[in-house]
Structure 1
């Protein structure tokens, strides 16, 4: 094997951008790149290690011996080491062996920009390319029409390792999922899939939230091109792809980013800012320009190279606050004496501006659980710039309410109505996510009170309420058919439950709710605007009934929603309406096809010129037990 030859992919402009934290396509320069130099094929390597005394590329090709293939440091104080090794081919495993200036410490690290990694527990990087013939041109040209904020956005959250396993209990591959998962999501009608982190991670119980290979799809399920096939097939089926993205922290694994070149390179050197006590992990130094460029380049990478349609940013609250999960004395206020992390705020604004200025028809979504203001407002008006934010308050209050026996619900209706006091302060997504079905919380179905029939009726009611409430939707896998047990990442979903009518009925309910959400513009066109919602009556606590109108751009297409939160059938229940004509029932969660009792409003209901609920007109309805009914004007 030839020795390292001098070579560079960097221009002076690249280096200036990198130092300024504004180079957002670093993956085109740093890492391992298969190239040809003077007619000779090989691999160009570049790694950022400013505290290094020497950097060697080691692998099977040189028996992992340090010093055999030494990279050269650039003259421009960028801290980048680089060089070309002739003959190194695709599939070669490698690492960087770094001797530090800080006391001669030697670290052996995976490539931060590796495109492919060995299957854990092996930890080496693999020389690879991203050549692929995409077939999703139609989706990419039209996805703005799928992803805009006035379009239906119903997300199926998936953990690839436990969605389904084969007969031997092994993972399905990306290629197998490209058939089975795609067909299932298309059948159930979700508009988007959100993958829990698929970037390479060493430890299965972390569910992927402790990353070491930020630029590599995990090899657990196949090769990078296999993951491209999965994304491609989803797009061809008209389904968008969202990735969980974790810029909040990373593990201390010896081959990872921590103490990379013998110094605190990626993590903040102050332990009060650079260590996360909850997850025993390291926190990025958001004030360091090169680190910001690394992270934003990573976001751009998945959107550009893998045609991803959105990024859901994990644990934003932990990034925003200096005192997050820290006791007094364990954190230091910012320069203004506050608890906000100013570097993080600046970084998140830069991240969102870079994403939205480079890609049309994508969304960024913040998992942010506090009252931090303007998370999903544009940066030019002072916001963080996200497209959406998870509505954690809605999730908590709604599940608290639904866990209560129906006899007590009349005392707690404010748990539900409260969400409308702040529903339009952000562009909210309603999440019933993986976090709600683990650690003893029970499954969503398992939280429902009553006997078996009531549990499933409550679950259908919950989902009907969710899909008619303003905001986009997210549902964790298994919840769509009423999985009974808590989620277990080490196994498969309990698909055998679908042989039972009540579970199949939940799946049918979700399928029809997805169709309803997509079909009726009033349920999505103004889902983030107060103009899209109007209460009819929120104060009928005694009967535990709520009624409201959802509105789109055309008032003739408004829909009326009535929720009955008890098992009492309410006949001749009157609600006020703003117009005359007729009402036609278009969804009823108590329909027998879903496993309900079949109490329906089957014929068109005549709206009377009889004032009620402060409106000029009204109509009498029959409210099925534990139900959501939806009506259109006709």
Structure 2
């Protein structure tokens, strides 16, 4: 094979770990060569003795279409005339041990429907995008000072036709998008859509990193889904799993008979708790594979951001390994995977150079510093981090009987000590409502009414707390059962008042959220939050101020995490005038008790709780009240 200079340069960059669009070099591509139409196949397999392309077109006979080695670093390639879009194929790999394996293409853009595992020839550039307006707005949008409320979604269990029989991406677009838009979410986050063999892995154990799972249709069907989201003003975030891959024989494991994509050292390769293998982050070709893969989803599918799964499992050599004999320290004696740290920084730098207006969200569960800081400041280079500490503390607190909450008051206040150390997303994800953890509603203590009241209070506090928001599907209408990944959501619950009211509550909470920049404009700035009273543990009441960039644009938030009602309760407020309760989670429309503040609340000119004036109000049970100054009138005289 004669290489032109451009191709030689791409191959050089691939082996250096710097080919950001390696999917345009590798894999199966329609092309015309010597006047013939066909498919060019290219694969990296340095340890193979011989590789052939096999498929229905040659009756899976490896003698028909052997590949030629392009260079000494293990790139193989061949052109097969007469093949077209939709062609099924695999690579037949002869190892140095004399074994023959059939492997799916690591760079395939499409795959057969499981349980079949062949790759499918599918070109990139057929889809006609119609989301130019969205992409232009995205380019000019300040994501940090904008509202962001994410609906985390597993397509196959949102709604299905029957067990393991799903709608298509296009059909889901027609159902999901109107619902998400009506509910007021700004983004959808999709659990991984890379091809995977086992439904119950939810896509987190993949075999086809460039291949859209065929469970729901074709690559263009997914593009249609994203396109329709954008045309309806909804962003799309994709769960992405660069930390590990599954061991299925047709996948990446020992791709050419030897460890290739995974570490050769089992102590670094094995993710024993998940039964998976860790990518070799120090290998240049693996870096090209993964960095290109991230860019591929962002560019070729117009994805607005990636939620990077299990970052802690990449950062730490001892992750999930309780026995010290199961892992080896780094060259300095530490537990950090230095190669993974360097890779993550390199990946984020490449992504933001290529696609600067996207979200890169780290699901990172430890205290690793500067996760969402730029690499030039010593950070990992993400622009968001999931706030797992807030999530764990709040769920632990909310699961307690209210009578015990006063002894654990710090759980609802501690997060404000570090709330501005990173750009945080507050996540209530699928992981918190599965595997016996109970649904969000069913975590709540008390009787039937109190469960719903606790849920409303928790969600209101979540939306008042600094940070962007993420909520897993079903929580928005109070699903009682935890997530059942082989069934669809319990939509029939909406026939009952409490669940229908909870769904209506989430709609109105989103209206409040969107309408008040104080709840999102300074999410990542200490100026956006001020405590009024963080210390009333006896009554489990906290109060604080959320502010926008404009001093007059503030909300006072009062949270009561007990079932007690308090009348004539004094709350310090930042500005003199008349306040109105603009939202209460205890409103009867939402199933609450109706202990709301329907009359205007006029300030008294007497200091209270570090503020220069105060109001007196009714504090509803298990509820959150949002107050806003509506006029600056002469204040009433009052006593401390």
* TM value normalised by structure 2: 0.96
Aligned-partner SS, 2:144: coil
Of 518, 524, 527, the residue aligned with 2:520 is: 524
Q: Aligned partners of 2:493, 2:551: CA distance in 1, in Å? A: 41
Contact 1:147 1:363 in 2 (8 A): no
Contact 2:240 2:306 in 1 (8 A): yes
Q: Aligned partners of 2:293, 2:455: CA distance in 1, in Å? A: 39
Q: Aligned partners of 2:26, 2:610: CA distance in 1, in Å? A: 66
Q: Aligned partners of 1:344, 1:45: CA distance in 2, in Å? A: 30
Of 193, 197, 203, the residue aligned with 2:198 is: 203
Alpha-carbon offset, residue 170 of structure 1: 2.8
Q: Aligned partners of 2:472, 2:6: CA distance in 1, in Å? A: 43
Please show how residues 92-241 of structure 1 align to structure 2 within 5 Å. Answer: 92-100=87-95, 102-130=96-124, 131-145=126-140, 148-166=143-161, 170-241=165-236
Q: What is residue 570 of structure 1 aligned with on the other side?
A: 566
Aligned-partner SS, 1:547: strand
Alpha-carbon offset, residue 323 of structure 1: 0.9
Contact 1:147 1:153 in 2 (8 A): no
Q: What is residue 45 of structure 2 aligned with on the other side?
A: 49
Task: Using the TM superposition, name which of 577-586 and 453-462 deviates more.
Answer: 577-586
Q: Aligned partners of 1:619, 1:38: CA distance in 2, in Å? A: 83
Alpha-carbon offset, residue 604 of structure 1: 2.2
Of 65, 69, 72, the residue aligned with 1:69 is: 65
Q: What is residue 635 of structure 2 aligned with on the other side?
A: none
Q: Aligned partners of 1:513, 1:623: CA distance in 2, in Å? A: 19
1:424-470 CA-partner distances (Å, limit 9, x unpaired): 11111111100011111110000111111110000000000000000
1:550-589 CA-partner distances (Å, limit 9, x unpaired): 1111111111100011111111111112221111111110
Of 250, 255, 274, the residue aligned with 1:255 is: 250
Please show how residues 283-362 of structure 1 align to structure 2 within 5 Å. Answer: 283-326=278-321, 327-362=323-358
Of 263, 282, 285, the residue aligned with 1:268 is: 263
Of 75, 78, 81, the residue aligned with 1:80 is: 75
Q: Aligned partners of 2:59, 2:432: CA distance in 1, in Å? A: 48
Q: Aligned partners of 1:55, 1:168: CA distance in 2, in Å? A: 39
Q: Aligned partners of 2:27, 2:285: CA distance in 1, in Å? A: 15
Q: What is residue 34 of structure 1 aligned with on the other side?
A: 30
Q: CA RMSD in A?
A: 1.3
Contact 1:136 1:235 in 2 (8 A): yes
* Moved beyond 4 Å, runs of 4+: 5-10
Task: Using the TM superposition, name which of 278-287 and 137-146 deviates more.
Answer: 137-146
Q: What is residue 459 of structure 1 aligned with on the other side?
A: 455
Task: Using the TM superposition, name which of 508-517 and 141-150 deviates more.
Answer: 141-150
Q: Aligned partners of 1:340, 1:554: CA distance in 2, in Å? A: 43
The reply to whether residue 370 of structure 1 matches residue 395 of structure 2 is no
Say if 1:148 and 1:189 are closer, same or farther in 2 by CA, change over 3 A.
same
Please show how residues 465-544 of structure 1 align to structure 2 within 5 Å. Answer: 465-544=461-540
Alpha-carbon offset, residue 33 of structure 1: 0.3
Alpha-carbon offset, residue 169 of structure 1: 7.3
Task: Using the TM superposition, name which of 167-176 and 273-282 deviates more.
Answer: 167-176
Q: What is residue 444 of structure 1 aligned with on the other side?
A: 440
Contact 1:110 1:255 in 2 (8 A): yes
Alpha-carbon offset, residue 67 of structure 1: 2.0
Q: Aligned partners of 1:24, 1:477: CA distance in 2, in Å? A: 34
The reply to whether residue 282 of structure 1 matches residue 277 of structure 2 is yes
Aligned-partner SS, 1:11: helix
Q: Number of aligned pairs?
A: 628
Q: Aligned partners of 1:158, 1:265: CA distance in 2, in Å? A: 33
Alpha-carbon offset, residue 350 of structure 1: 0.8
Alpha-carbon offset, residue 146 of structure 1: 5.1
Q: Aligned partners of 2:33, 2:513: CA distance in 1, in Å? A: 55
Task: Using the TM superposition, name which of 598-607 and 392-401 deviates more.
Answer: 598-607
1:476-500 CA-partner distances (Å, limit 9, x unpaired): 0001110000111101000000111
Aligned-partner SS, 1:329: helix
Alpha-carbon offset, residue 112 of structure 1: 0.4
Contact 2:164 2:486 in 1 (8 A): no
1:131-150 CA-partner distances (Å, limit 9, x unpaired): 10001110001114556111
Q: Aligned partners of 1:275, 1:559: CA distance in 2, in Å? A: 50
Q: What is residue 578 of structure 2 aligned with on the other side?
A: 582
Alpha-carbon offset, residue 8 of structure 1: 7.8
Q: Aligned partners of 1:138, 1:69: CA distance in 2, in Å? A: 46
Q: Aligned partners of 1:391, 1:151: CA distance in 2, in Å? A: 18
Aligned-partner SS, 2:552: helix
Q: Aligned partners of 2:490, 2:340: CA distance in 1, in Å? A: 40
Aligned-partner SS, 1:220: helix
Q: Aligned partners of 2:275, 2:247: CA distance in 1, in Å? A: 8
Q: Aligned partners of 1:449, 1:307: CA distance in 2, in Å? A: 42
Q: Aligned partners of 2:435, 2:92: CA distance in 1, in Å? A: 40
Aligned-partner SS, 1:575: strand
Alpha-carbon offset, residue 166 of structure 1: 2.7
Q: Aligned partners of 1:616, 1:301: CA distance in 2, in Å? A: 55
Aligned-partner SS, 1:95: strand
Say if 1:171 and 1:497 are closer, same or farther in 2 by CA, change over 3 A.
same
1:293-337 CA-partner distances (Å, limit 9, x unpaired): 100000000000000000000000011001111221211111111
Q: Aligned partners of 1:168, 1:319: CA distance in 2, in Å? A: 34
Contact 1:97 1:107 in 2 (8 A): yes
Q: What is residue 386 of structure 1 aligned with on the other side?
A: 382
Q: Aligned partners of 2:581, 2:35: CA distance in 1, in Å? A: 71
Task: Using the TM superposition, name which of 31-40 and 79-88 deviates more.
Answer: 31-40
Q: Aligned partners of 2:521, 2:238: CA distance in 1, in Å? A: 24
